[in-house]
Structure 1
Amino acid sequence: MKNTERFSNRVENYIRYRPHYPHAIIPALEEQTGLTPNTVVADIGAGTGISSLPFLENGNQVLGVEPNKEMREAAEKALQRYANFTAVAGSAEHTMLPDACADLVVAGQAFHWFNQEAARTEFRRIARGHGWVALIWNERETGTGFEKDYEQLLERYAVDYKTTHHRNVSMKQIAAFFAPAPCREQSFPNAQLFDLHGLKGRLLSSSYAPDAAHPAYAAMMRELEEIFYRHQQQNMVKFHYTTKLYTGQLLP
């Protein structure tokens, strides 16, 4: 399956159950990159629009570049109240955007899918001036009993979890992307609470989770229910995340 098609059948769950980004990334970007409401943002791998939303709420014009048709159409629907959002059919390597059109290029939960060398060349082409780029991830924690059991479930059942997960992107790779300019890393706390229905949706929003047609699906969902009832408090379980923000400039 092509990377650009991995989420085609997961759009509804992705919209409803994926974590958003904490507001704290906005003042951090104001301080680091000079972000203002007048900054034009190119959101690369915009998906269903989750990564575009903090910037739209900040008043920014956002160009949401997304290669997957279903995800892109979902973003257009979800963000239709924002006149400052434009969805663009393109990829990180071929954004279809004009030269020097964006003051800030961002990628939320998407950088690990890119051809990084080609994406760097393309980001430099579409960036204005100093070429500011922000890479953002919600990194799921594995510290609690529930989180450890959930991680083990993924390791048992998720088809290509270990090869496609964003944790496979090292700080060395990120630093190389920005080199020779320095890269700054910041972290912010984030969390989600789910009932059983929401927990199932969260699992199925992941591209590596077996879908209903997979022979392991039923066993996976039974085990997920067991994990939920073992750890639930007041019929809810909690995911903790660390939102990682990497910022730097792409020098010519």
Structure 2
Amino acid sequence: MLLDEALTQNDLSVHYQPKVTASGKCIGLEALARWDSKILGTVSPGVFIPIAEEHRMVSRLTDLVIQKVCSQLADWSLQGLPTVPVSINISLLDFSQTDFIAKLVKYLADFNVKPHQIELELTETSLEANHAHSLTLIKTLQSWGFTVSVDDFGVGYSNIARLADYPINKLKLDRSLISQVTSSTRQKSLVKAVHVMCKELDIACVAEGVETQKQVDVMAHMGCTEFQGFYFAKPMPAKEFVAHVTKHGLVFARKAIL
């Protein structure tokens, strides 16, 4: 009930986590929903997102995030700030809606945001729910100019055949894979094999959950050019991101995680 009320009253906020090159230059952002309830206090996304999915409120949550991201991009542009593409997580329910693209394009038009400024992150589950529908939708989104990524690759059962089945632009390697590339030879070999396949299929690999310089070095040596994780920056409110960019530009210093 409280989440339903928060969505109705537009009480959820969006934080942004930088996606960077190996040197720390920001080349993108991921939009992440946050909820600070007046009654419950700060509620973890790991708690409220499953509730939104269970009670079929997740599409309202996605709509809210898309609107806030488009509004924020328009605001940054008016301020003359440098902008980078922003990725938005899309759920199975979102992807299954027949009017998904129509709503998405309308939100962009309302704020004069271009499709190349938005990256859509899909889960493997959403792709497999309806193969024919997913394939058509991905091709249509790409024809509009959107970048399409598969998120959390490596969680649970990951079907490598999906890399060939769907014309995705990016594959985000889950932190569970990245965390062991410096300690497990077999894990490193597995990640390298996935990266080689992606390269052959012209799919960019993103290393997610990066926490050490050694992880960056290993992944960069494989050819990975995009990184995301606490080693570079945690998710932050828009104001904090603007303050950083104003002072340091689009560069995020690397730091050790204690």
Question: TM-score, with normalisation over the residues of structure 1?
Answer: 0.31
Larger relative contact order, structure 1 or 2 (CA cutoff 8 Å, min sep 6): 1
